[in-house]
Amino acid sequence: MTTKKSSSCVTQKKTSYLFHPYEIAFCGYSNSGKTTLISKLIKSLKSKYTIGYIKHDVHKFQMDKEGKDTFVSWNSGATQILISDSKHTASIHKNSPDLIESKTSFLNCDIAFLEGYKNSSAKKLVIIDQENKIFNAIKTGEIDHVIGFIGQGPKPQSLPLDLPYFQRDDIGSIAQWIQDFQIKRVKEIPLYGLVLAGGHSTRMKKDKALLKYSDKTQAEAGYELLSSFCESTFISSRFNQWSNQTLNHLPQIHDRFLDFGPMGGILSAMQTHPHAAWLVIACDLPYLDKNTIQFLIKNRNPFKMASCYKSKNSDFPEPLCSIYEPKILLRLLQFLGLGYQCPRKVLIQSPTQLLEQPYKSTLENINFNDEYIKTKKQIEARIVQ
């Protein structure tokens, strides 16, 4: 028998990245060719990925033009300036970015390239200078988290670590290695399942999670369905929702965000296990089957915020049969703080992998008792056949 799990004893880990979970820093001394290399890699990869670029400048940079409105406002004492047109937006403000800005500004990108940041915890590709001086910084620990080297000629015999080495002009090989490295990162992310069953079922007037269309309750059927695809699966529920009833043997995550509907259940799960991706389904989808789940997983894009189906009658995303990637947690919290409680609105405003429904009616949800009676008869008739 499976032991019921609670979310109350889980210790959360802080996000370990600077700007993006799929970031790579390109480190090297001045005039080592970092910017030229990065620009070539962006051109090579831009057809597959949206790429963010962040530069750490040790000098006093100047991005504005003297005499322009923004320049005049800045020099008059404005502490933050934003300028935009139909294709661009730029912002300048005083001081370094704070923690929240660092973690959220580039989440719309698939991956991010950092230029510099030698002393950070970011994964680093090191560009070797002609005299190999940068090796000393690696040996002394000044530069760590190195994942590879890039140089101008053959591989140096004095390379301080047994790591991949690329010649700087071999852009194709470097770009392919970066893709493989990011895919390896993705594979390290566990996929967990969540059956949303904590609603009050006001329209049905009976708990949807306990309804039976065959020999199992909907919560049990959903749990069994997701368990065949996910490392761990949980039922999203209210605390003491099923006192002395059979569903209590299933692993559960109780709502921490009360009365926020599906958004609360998703956020509660993601806060309990923030480093997992979540395959989320509602408990009121009696036609949902393995083929629909398998197609979603096969066509998942883990570099987006989420992967989901289009709704039946529109191009809007269907939030209750979707895979939510770890980085969407910050976006969900942002929207909740702004008063938005609908996960569909978050998905509409976020980069998602949007899929056509391949199987007719498998995402049809049942909300009213007469619909339940009719659907139950149809499903029972199929089973008999």
Euclidean distance between CA atoms 340 and 346, whole angstroms: 8
Tell whether the torsion through CA atoms of 176, 177, 179 and 180 is positive or negative: positive
In this prediction, residue 339 has a pLDDT band, given cuts at 50, 70 and 90, of very high
Given a cut of 90, whether residue 4 has pLDDT beyond it is: no
* Digit-coded pLDDT (tens) for 29-44: 888 889 999 999 999 9
Instruction: Report how far residue 185's alpha carbon sits from residue 207's, in angstroms, rounded to the nearest whole number.
Output: 40
Instruction: Please give the full DSSP string across 142-174, using - where no structure is assigned.
Output: SS--EEEEEESSSPPTT-SSS--EEETT-HHHH
The residue count for the chain: 385
pLDDT-derived band of residue 383, with 50, 70 and 90 as boundaries? low
**DSSP state letter for 263:** H
Cα angle 223-229-235, degrees, rounded to a multiple of 5: 25
- Per-residue pLDDT, 2: 41
HSE-up (13 A, CA, CB side) for residue 258: 3
Q: Is the pLDDT of residue 8 over 50?
A: no
**pLDDT(56) > 90:** no
Cβ(323)–Cβ(306) below 8 Å:
yes
Six token digits for residue 278: 């979540």
User: Computed over its alpha carbons, how large is the radius of gyration of the chain?
Assistant: 25
d(CA 332, CA 262) in angstroms, rounded, equals 12
Please work out, in degrees rounded to the nearest 5, the angle formed at the alpha carbon of residue 242 by the alpha carbons of 236 and 248.
70
> Mean pLDDT over residues 208-232, rounded?
93
81-135 residue pLDDT tens: 888 888 888 888 877 777 788 888 899 999 999 998 898 999 999 999 988 899 9
C-alpha dihedral over 258, 261, 262, 267, to 10 degrees? -30
Give the pLDDT confidence score for residue 59 in this predicted structure.
60
CA distances to 83, 89, 166, 328, 376 from 86, in Å: 11, 8, 39, 26, 52
Q: What is the pTM of this model?
A: 0.89
Can you list the domains of the chain with their CATH numbers?
23-80+89-187 (3.40.50.300), 191-384 (3.90.550.10)
pLDDT score of 226: 98
Give the whole-angstrom CA distance, residue 22 versus residue 275.
13
Give me the helices (H) in the chain, please. 34-45, 69-76, 99-104, 134-139, 171-187, 218-227, 261-272, 290-298, 328-337, 343-348, 369-384
Residues above pLDDT 90, as percent of the chain: 59
| pLDDT value for 379 | 81
Which residue did the predictor score with more confidence, 147 or 84? 147
Sheet holding 317-324, edge to edge: 252-254, 232-237, 191-196, 277-282, 317-324, 306-310, 352-355
DSSP string, 296-337: HHHT--TTSSEEEEEPTTSSSEEEEEEEE-TTHHHHHHHHHH
Q: How confident is the model at residue 340 (pLDDT cuts 50, 70, 90)?
A: very high
Please answer whether residues 118 and 137 qualify as being in contact, where contact means their C-beta atoms are separated by less than 8 angstroms.
Answer: yes
Name the percent of the chain lying above pLDDT 70.
Answer: 94
Mean pLDDT within 179-200: 94
Measured CA to CA, the distance from residue 82 to residue 105 in angstroms comes to 14
Region label for 355, one of left (φ > 0), alpha (ψ between -120 and 50) or beta (otherwise): beta
pLDDT at 282 over 70: yes
| Helical (H) or strand (E) element with 124 | strand 124-127
Q: What value, to the nearest 5°, has the Cα angle with vertex 197 and ends 193 and 203?
A: 145
User: Can you count the helices (H) and strands (E) in the chain?
Assistant: 11, 15
Amino acid 6: pLDDT: 46
Res. 244 pLDDT band, cuts 50 70 90: low
